[in-house]
Amino acid sequence: MSDFLIRFAHPAARGLAALSLLAAACAAHADGPNMIRNGSFELPDEGADGLYLGSGDDWFWPSNGALAGPRIIRGNIDDGIGDGMTYGATHWGNQYLDLAGESPDGLASDQQMVSGFVAGAKYKFTVWAANIDNSPVVKLQIKMDNAAGTVYAKRHIRIPTGGPWNTKIGFKAYSFAFASPVTGPLWVTLSNHISPFTGGPAQIAIDNVSLVQVSDDTPVDFVMAPSMGE
């Protein structure tokens, strides 16, 4: 509808036109659907509260030599050291991912191949993470690469000391926006990257992982490039 018609039409029509324009503007800036599958690690449903070795449906346990693999924790379970404390429960569903850095390489990892990237389009990655065993050194590594092993991004996030939480886990959100360098799939890998190795468990709880396409005017936090590291 032209500006002339908006200014001179019936007041009710002007209101409807304004609402239509507002809706169109909101739609243009709305985030896309979550490209991560099973981002809350609710599948498979483990049924009973406990700790289960595994990566979760749609996620893959990479073979990198780590002594500790990814684990799914369901419910609010005991921290296992006899202090009467529990790790705490997640805010999303009943289950969450636990990356326990219990090996010298510190790379207990979980990964997923994410399809649908378009070169030049912008995306926002968000992960909710928390330290759950009060370790002083916890570092979450987020890596994005292709099937041939070309690394386009490697981000290290220091997770502050915290836990065990007893009630609800004190998750915090960590996000970054980027423009995709490729059209097609990318591997997204989450790792407990302890540096230096402390000899302790240094467990990172992870939940509510998302990756969505955002509007073209979204500022990016970095430019992805082959073999990019940080």
Same domain, 24 and 132: no
The DSSP string of 173-190 is EEEEEEE-S-SEEEEEEE
3-class state of residue 90 by DSSP: coil
The CATH number of residue 143's host domain is 2.60.120.260
User: What is the span of the domain harbouring residue 14?
Assistant: 1-30
Is 228 among the domain residues?
Answer: no
Q: What is the pLDDT along the chain (230 residues), one digit of tens a residue?
A: 444 333 334 555 445 444 444 444 444 457 999 999 999 999 999 999 999 988 999 999 886 555 567 899 999 999 888 889 999 999 999 999 999 876 555 578 899 999 999 999 999 999 999 999 888 778 899 999 998 889 999 999 999 999 999 999 999 999 999 999 999 999 999 998 765 555 566 789 999 999 999 999 999 998 888 874 44
Beta strands in the chain (DSSP E): 50-53, 70-74, 95-100, 107-117, 122-131, 139-145, 151-158, 172-179, 184-193, 203-214, 222-223
What pLDDT score was predicted for residue 1? 42
pTM (2 decimals)? 0.84
Same domain, 86 and 165: yes
The CB-side HSE value for 52 (13 A sphere, CA atoms) comes to 21
Is 139 among the domain residues?
Answer: yes
What pLDDT score was predicted for residue 4? 33
Distance from first CA to last CA of the chain, Å, rounded?
49
Measured in whole angstroms, the distance separating CA 141 from the mean position of its chain's CA atoms is 11
What pLDDT score was predicted for residue 100? 83
Same domain, 90 and 19: no
Six token digits for residue 8: 């001179």
